């Protein structure tokens, strides 16, 4: 195995470590790394020492094809959950905006039909004459 092969394998390990850290950080934001690694080991069906090697991108760690497939499936499942949650949140936001626009329109329509007392040019002149004294 040449020097270039080793650096390429380490880049893959670094990318996998980054993916695992991002996944674990999003899924369990309040937990420490040790807890996250133990949980990942459980989800991936791997022992904790193996997950630690991959999670920390140890230079001696080499990713096997079956491990790569399990990790990718785990990350893809999270991505699809996030996309679904985003779609749901966007739909809820659109509904909320529609309700707020309806409320605003109703209030504007109500104000057009029932002007507030004291509004308009004539009332302004009356108020100014009240403040400035007799004319």
- Residue 114 belongs to some domain of the structure: no
Kindly report the number of other CB atoms within 10 A of residue 21's CB atom: 17
Nearest to 21 by CA among 80, 85, 63, 71: 71
pLDDT in the model for residue 39: 94
For the chain, what is the radius of gyration of the CA atoms? Answer: 32
- Residue 126 belongs to some domain of the structure: no
pLDDT in the model for residue 117: 55
Q: Which domain holds residue 64?
A: 3-80
pLDDT in tens, the chain (135 residues): 455 455 666 677 888 899 999 999 988 899 999 999 999 999 999 999 999 999 998 988 888 889 989 998 988 887 777 778 788 888 899 999 999 999 999 998 888 776 655 555 555 555 555 555 555
- Residue 91 belongs to some domain of the structure: no
- Residue 119 belongs to some domain of the structure: no
């Amino acid at each position: 195995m040449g020097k270039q092969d080793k650096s390429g394998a380490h880049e893959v390990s670094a990318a996998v470590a980054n993916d695992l850290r991002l996944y674990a950080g999003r899924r369990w934001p309040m937990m420490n790394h040790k807890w996250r690694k133990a949980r990942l080991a459980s989800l991936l069906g791997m022992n904790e020492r193996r997950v630690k090697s991959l999670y920390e991108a140890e230079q001696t760690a080499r990713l096997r094809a079956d491990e790569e497939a399990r990790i990718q499936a785990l990350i893809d499942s999270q991505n699809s959950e996030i996309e679904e949650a985003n779609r749901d949140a966007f739909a809820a936001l659109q509904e909320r905006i529609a309700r707020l626009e309806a409320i605003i329109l109703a209030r504007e329509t109500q104000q057009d039909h029932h002007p507030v007392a004291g509004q308009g040019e004539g009332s302004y002149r009356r108020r100014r004459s009240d403040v400035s004294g007799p004319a």
